[in-house]
């Protein structure tokens, strides 16, 4: 059986993480999501909360994974669970340098454990747990970025005294069964869109410089607009714009 380890902080787990996990399951028979305890990061959720959220998120997405917490060297954890590879997600080129260093160091520590880089779906390449936590802290919607269990946990952590539900995106509100409350459209047109009143006075035709001389009034045919001039406007003397 080919087993891989997908390590990370997962504070919290996002749709990008779940997308990488799903791609790894197409390659390996079993996937262990390893949640790091000591990683020099100040986390929003404790280790037990992160473990629970990973389990609930994976179950919500129908992913057959094992979630385990670990501390110490990653290669020791992988060796203990007889994993042959480490899965890492790459969102952009900027991630590669750091991940490349980790992969080479892990290879030095244990040459038998390979590192496999997987790219998430393009709609998740800009996601990060830090950005999502910032949006949630400021009261923004995050339902497009995390599964429902994580969305509820973020809202409860950042807004513990709020009786409101997590905010939704506009298109999600429009798709709700009862629909949003709409304002009835007024039957009177806007003042700026009202048509101008019709006049009984016929409009004065605007002379065209390309009309034949017979069709131009005397004022238009005179040079420099001077009435009474005897200059005749012909096709050769009409200026073109």
pLDDT of residue 40: 80
* Residues comprising the chain, all counted: 241
DSSP state string for 178-201: S----PPPPSSPPGGGSPPPP-SS
Q: Which residues belong to the active site? A: 17, 41, 91, 129
CATH number where 59 lies: 3.40.50.620
Contact 129, 10 (CB under 8 A): yes
pLDDT of residue 193: 44
Nearest to 77 by CA among 3, 2, 1: 3
In a domain, 169, yes or no: no
In a domain, 122, yes or no: yes
In a domain, 202, yes or no: no
In a domain, 14, yes or no: yes
pLDDT of residue 198: 56
In a domain, 179, yes or no: no
In a domain, 149, yes or no: no
CA angle in degrees (0–180, nearest 5) for 36-39-41: 115
Domain, as residue range, for 26: 3-126
In a domain, 198, yes or no: no
DSSP state for residue 97 in the 8-state scheme: H
pLDDT tens digits for range 166-182: 887 765 555 555 555 44
Give every residue of the chain whose pLDDT is below 70, as ranges: 170-241
Domain count of the chain? Answer: 1
pLDDT of residue 195: 52
pTM for this structure?
Answer: 0.70
In a domain, 238, yes or no: no
């Amino acid at each position: 059986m080919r087993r891989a380890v997908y390590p990370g902080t997962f504070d919290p787990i996002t749709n990008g993480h779940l997308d990488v996990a799903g791609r790894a399951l197409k390659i390996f028979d079993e996937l262990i999501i390893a949640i790091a305890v000591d990683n020099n990061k100040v986390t929003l959720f404790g280790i037990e909360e992160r473990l629970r959220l990973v389990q609930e998120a994976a179950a919500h997405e129908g992913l057959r994974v094992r979630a385990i917490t670990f501390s110490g060297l990653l290669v020791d954890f992988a060796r203990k669970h007889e994993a042959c590879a480490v899965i890492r997600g790459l969102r952009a080129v900027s991630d590669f340098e750091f991940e490349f260093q980790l992969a080479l160091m892990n290879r030095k520590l244990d040459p038998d454990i390979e590192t496999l880089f997987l790219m998430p779906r393009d709609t998740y390449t800009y996601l990060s747990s830090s950005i999502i936590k910032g949006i949630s802290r400021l009261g923004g919607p995050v339902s497009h970025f995390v599964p429902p269990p994580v969305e509820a946990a973020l809202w409860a952590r950042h807004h513990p005294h709020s009786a409101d539900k997590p905010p939704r995106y506009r298109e999600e509100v429009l798709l709700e069964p009862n629909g949003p409350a709409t304002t009835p459209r007024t039957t009177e047109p806007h003042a700026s869109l009202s048509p101008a009143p019709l006049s009984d006075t016929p409009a004065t035709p605007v002379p065209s410089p390309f009309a034949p001389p017979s069709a131009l009034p005397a004022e238009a045919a005179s040079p420099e607009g001077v009435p009474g001039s005897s200059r005749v406007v012909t096709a050769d003397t009409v200026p073109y714009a």
